[in-house]
Structure 1
Amino acid sequence: MTDDLLARHRAVLPGWMPMYYGDDALEIVEGSGRRVKGADGRTYLDFFGGVLTTMIGYDVAEVNEAVQRQLATGVVHSSTLYLIRHQVELAEKIARVSGIPDARVFFTNSGSEANEAALLMAANIRRSNQILAVKNSYHGRTFATMAVTGHRSWSSSSLSPLNVQWLASGDRLRGRMAGLADGDILDAAVDDLREVLATVTAGDVAALIAEPIQGVGGFVAGPDGLLGAYQKVLSESGILLIADEVQTGWGRTGEHFWGYQAHGVTPDLITFAKGIGNGFALGGVVGRAEVMNAVPAISFSTFGGNPLSMAAGNAVLDYVLDHDLQGNAARTGAILLDGLRALDLGCVGEVRGRGLMIGVEIVRPGTTEPDPAATVRVFDECRAGGLLVGKGGLHGNVLRMGPPLTLTEEEAREGLAILTGALSRVDAEARIS
């Protein structure tokens, strides 16, 4: 990097912050549409969108203009102790699209904070700190959200304010659900839930928190109807359902606006963040009024719901709805998924996902053994070809792709060509070795 920015970064920022591409770390200096320019002078097609956050692309006129209008007022902050018009407007829109009757909305700055707030609300109304969570999940880096994250790489402390019990993930490649048909997975999952409730919980349980599709976990998902099957059991004891839609919301899966809608269920609480701000710090919780109002003390958010982020959020949600980006995610996602599933490569253990939320699991040919080293090779080959993708999964062997929902069909085919080329080269290397 021209001014040794990486060395400066390492000198003043914590060592536990991961950096893509190691000693060849990338500084992104410009963006337009679905492409970014690096300080290395190269232009890249972005299939990761700042971890599924730059949801409608870079340099979007409607968002820029909304933010600039708010900046022109001179008011970028007032706190939620004052009326904020953009906050009310965005809350009205989110309540309307949430699918929850008589919904209330609380805004935060991130998905971690949103999940933390949802856990607080559930614990308050149920008078219990017992939480059910799912193995291989990720819900954030704050104290309570780390406690319900079932992914060892991201669990930096064994201390917890919650009593957490774990349900099996929907991983079909390995683990207790491997090789099962969808109906058998549903039966096994319900049996697992009933066993957990009967054996390792005491008294009231507050809630189950679950991602419809596990994000950091490598886009692992159980079959459609899983959350609905869970809720039938949960409702017998009044246990709440929290749908973590930080990565799955706003039409990204193509088939539905929210990931939970594939499951025949209506959650008590939905958490959201990332894409709704398109890069501005914006998250929140939407849920049933009874649950949302359960916090017994005074509480507010200094920065959550601030006028600038709210202006951006309103423009982003309007853009998503006005341009049918859910439909576009279904169309362009099908190009990617169909193309990847047509590959016959030994290093590809599984292609999974929906819409523009796609994971490719990299394994040692002929096995289900994770191959993180080959994953890094494909990851680097993609960058060399002009494509940015992400990584994840419990074993660090899943390529994660969450392009902006504005991706064109031509860009989808361009990215697919780069990706399949990278996979083919790494697969050929594996065969030779």
Structure 2
Amino acid sequence: MTELAAAPRALLDRHRAVMPEWMGLYYDEPLELVSGSGRTVVSSDGVEYLDFFGGLLATMVGHGIPEIVEAIREQAGRILHSSTLYLLSGQIRLAERIAEASRMRDPRVFFVNSGSEAVEAALLFTTAKARSNQVLALRGGYHGRTFGTVATTGIRSWSATGFSPVQVSYLHSGYRYRSPFRDLGEAAFVDACVEETRAIIETSTSGPVACLLAEPIQGAGGFAEPPPGFFARTKQVLDEYGIPLVSDEVQSGWGRTGKAFFGMHAHGVLPEAITFAKGLANGLAIGGVVAEAELVHSLPAQSISTAGGNPIATAAANATLDHIRDHDLMRNADEIGCRLQAGLARLAADRRSIGEVRGSGLMIGIELVEPGGTTASAARALAAVERARSLGLLIGRGGLYGNVLRITPPMTVTAEEADRALELLAAAIVDGPVGTDR
């Protein structure tokens, strides 16, 4: 019997015998995905699913895209690796494209292998430049699972340790649904958040502050996005104090929000640094930072990245960006995202357990609550994820309390697939007691 044909239960037993117990798996009966085409994936037991989670947002443009597969195959037939100690034409081409998209004055690009490593690099650049380990971050933000990034993560369930190489002060994220400022009008709400930012800078920090690390739309935080004006006003305060903004675009980059190639640009804000990863290579390991030259060049020592920006990953990344451009996928993300949100808004009017539908483009969150109130219900979210899987739909889960469904299909998703997903979500989200179908 081959590995792919092995019974899922036996594979699960092997997983538990060698993997850390904190490395979670979805579903009461975890599944292995063995093939995919477009937005459809197939498990090892032969069941087909509509993929509306996209490999945790890394499968940016879908499975089995011929142009990307061919780019990887062609590069693999030439050379797999040489390191950054040699010139890499694919890496340079990719860096040129990202530098141009950044809109920065004099950008430099440094490639690594993951989002966590990208944020670590940004923290290295900014703390070296400021000669300070003081950092601002947003409550509800998620920035990785490494020692430094865990410290900047404002979600308790993802904060593995209280030890930290940086000193972090947390700001209001602009997440309105559970904010103490939620009853204020939109302008007054932004005013209150901005004043809190100023107060924290002046009372909780001492001397230079290295940066503010912020996601334009929070990923693991449940796709919370602040109101218009929040980031523009916050940037004005940062500029007053000479604090650079690092926009964490690991999940929101490459046009997924449907509003801009990088999510922070949609808010009319130009950050001093942008971190990226996940969907850039449509699932292959890649990450990096694009930042103003004065930040990147602040390091007093040499550095390299052995596998960062390697020929295989950059071949896939260049092909992915070509595919996004050639098929106008940012427009598609906007149009299908609006279609999904409109359908979910209609569903929310009929489901008392849906507290809020929010998001941008193909980053949509459905916050589930106990019917008739605002009490977060992680149990309902878990049940909905399980029900969706049983119906043939894969979705994610996140939020500060684990109660937000994450809807993130690849950017090539069609209107027909969106409508089918809405039908399945209507069947998966119920108001009755958890464990029932009503």
TM-score (ref. length: structure 1)? 0.97
Q: Show the counterpart of 1:164.
A: 168
Shifted more, 105-114 versus 258-267: the winner is 258-267
Aligned with 1:235: secondary structure? helix
Q: How big is each residue's C-alpha offset from its partner over 1:148-207, in whole Å with a ceiling of 9 and x where there is no partner?
A: 000011111100000110101222121323233321221011100110011111011110
Q: Which amino acid aligns with 2:295?
A: V
Q: CA RMSD in A?
A: 1.3
User: In the alignment, which of 49, 60, 68 is matched to residue 65 of structure 2?
Assistant: 60
CA distance in 1, matches of 2:180, 2:127: 30
Residues in 1 aligned to 2:70 and 2:130: alpha-carbon distance in whole angstroms: 44
Residue 320 (structure 1) aligned to one of 306, 321, 324? 324
> Counterpart of 1:350?
356
Structure 2: distance between partners of 1:177 and 1:149: 22
Q: Secondary structure at the match of 2:241?
A: coil
**Is the aligned partner of 1:42 residue 2:43?**
no
Q: Deviations over 1:60-107 (max 9, x none)?
A: 11111111111111x111110100110001001111111212211000
Matched residue SS, 1:364: coil
C-alpha contact 1:250 1:257 (8 A) present in aligned 2: yes
Contact 2:142 2:152 in 1 (8 A): yes
Q: Deviations over 1:367-419 (max 9, x none)?
A: 10011111111111111111000000111100001110000111111111101
Contact kept, 8 Å, 1:225 with 1:262, in 2: the verdict is no
Do the aligned residues in 2 keep the contact of 1:170 with 1:177 (CA within 8 Å)? no
Aligned residues: 429
- The 8 Å contact of residues 171 and 177 in structure 1, kept in 2 or not, is answered as no
Aligned-partner SS, 1:427: coil
- Residue identity over aligned pairs, in percent, reads 52
User: What SS does the corresponding residue of 1:105 show, helix, strand or coil?
Assistant: strand
Aligned CA distance change for structure 1 residues 2 and 156 (closer, same or farther; 3 Å): closer
Return the alpha-carbon distance in structure 1 between the equivalents of residues 108 and 354 of structure 2. Answer: 43
Which residue is 1:304 aligned to?
A: 308
Report the CA distance between 1:326 and its aligned residue. Answer: 0.4
Residue 4 of structure 2 aligns with which residue?
none
Shift of 1:432: 10
Is 1:392 the equivalent of 2:385? Answer: no
From 25, 29, 35, the counterpart of 2:34 = 29
1:132 aligned partner, one-letter code: L
Determine if contact 1:115/1:140 at 8 Å carries over to the other structure. Answer: yes
Measured against aligned partners, the alpha-carbon deviations of 1:101-146 in whole angstroms (never above 9, x if no partner) come to: 2211000100000000001101111111100001111000011111
User: Contact 1:173 / 1:179 at 8 angstroms: preserved in 2?
Assistant: no
| 1:403 equivalent in structure 2 | 409
Unmatched tracts of structure 2, length 5 or more? 1-6
Q: Distance in 2 between matches of 1:406 and 1:181?
A: 37
Alignment partner of 1:360 is 2:335: no
Match of 1:256 in 2: 260
The aligned counterpart of 1:416 is 422
The answer to whether structure 1 residue 76 and structure 2 residue 80 are counterparts is yes
Q: Which runs of 4+ in 1 moved over 4 A?
A: 429-433
Structure 1: any 5+ residue segments left out of the alignment? none
CA shift in 2, pair 1:331/1:200, >3 Å: same
Separation in structure 2 between the aligned mates of residue 76 and residue 181 of structure 1, nearest angstrom: 55
Amino acid at match of 2:339: I
Q: Amino acid of the residue matched to residue 71 of structure 1?
A: A
Alignment of 1:54-203 (within 5 A): 54-73=59-78, 75-203=79-207
> Counterpart of 1:376?
382
Query: Could you tell me whether the CA contact under 8 Å between 1:360 and 1:399 is conserved in 2?
Result: yes
Q: Distance in 2 between matches of 1:33 and 1:50?
A: 13
Amino acid at match of 2:203: T
**Cα distance, 1:328 vs structure 2:** 0.3
* Contact 1:172/1:180 (<8 A) preserved: no
Distance 1:374 1:305 in 2: 41
SS at match of 1:236: helix
- Match for residue 13 of structure 1? 19
Q: Helix, strand or coil: the match of 1:57? A: coil
**1:308 counterpart SS class:** helix
Verify the 8 A CA contact 2:38 2:62 in the aligned structure 1: yes
